[in-house]
Amino acid sequence: MISRARPFLGWALLISFALHALLIAAPALRGKPQPLPPLTVSLREAPPAPAVEVPSPEPPGRILPQKRPRHAAPRHAPPPAEPRPVARQTVSLQRLSGEAARAAGEQMARELLYPLAAIERGLQGEVLVLLFLDERGNAIAARLEESSGHALLDDAAVRAARTLRALPASAPREALLPVRFRLR
């Protein structure tokens, strides 16, 4: 059986060689290749850079009330059987102020990116982020305390707040950080 296959193997190799040689020589047989037309590029004017602001700090000692959305239960709903445990702190939190607010503002200006999708959609708003700081003033956690109404902006603010480092020792261990997203 193998002896019969060898003549076909020789012919198969010869035909393969001829086809490959034809493919390699084909551009030379067609003549001179036509040059491509020159590439032209037109640039649009860049849109103005969006502004991201960290509001000025509140005067020290002023405690701001927490704003939370009120969810009204339907009138036909029965009252809950047991009192629900309170998930959030009942103590009012302070906004970052003084040197801590200045340092946080500088770092946020470097780290906070206005999401491109939010810019394209024209989204603006203010996010209130709750910061948890360690004894060295580094952010160990951050969570959304009050939404801007746009998840893209909320996520960007929380992500940037988690990168805060080396805030002054005077900074409280838990503080509110307002972040404004404004398009100019």
The architecture (CATH level 2) of 93-184 comes to 2-Layer Sandwich (3.30)
Nearest one of 172, 147, 180 to 91, comparing CA atoms: 172
Domain ranges of the chain: 93-184
Helix (H, G, I), strand (E, B) or coil at 119: helix
- Cα 16 to Cα 11, 23, 30, 62, 85: the distances in Å are 8, 11, 21, 87, 80
Asked whether the predicted pLDDT for residue 20 surpasses 50, the reply is yes
Exposed / middle / buried, residue 155 (Cβ in 10 Å: 0-12, 13-18, 19+): middle
Interatomic CA distance for residues 34 and 102, integer angstroms: 63
Does this model's pTM top 0.85? My answer is no
Interatomic CA distance for residues 135 and 170, integer angstroms: 10
Asked whether the predicted pLDDT for residue 148 surpasses 90, the reply is yes
Mean pLDDT (the chain, rounded): 77
Exposed / middle / buried, residue 171 (Cβ in 10 Å: 0-12, 13-18, 19+): buried
| pLDDT of the residue at 147 | 94
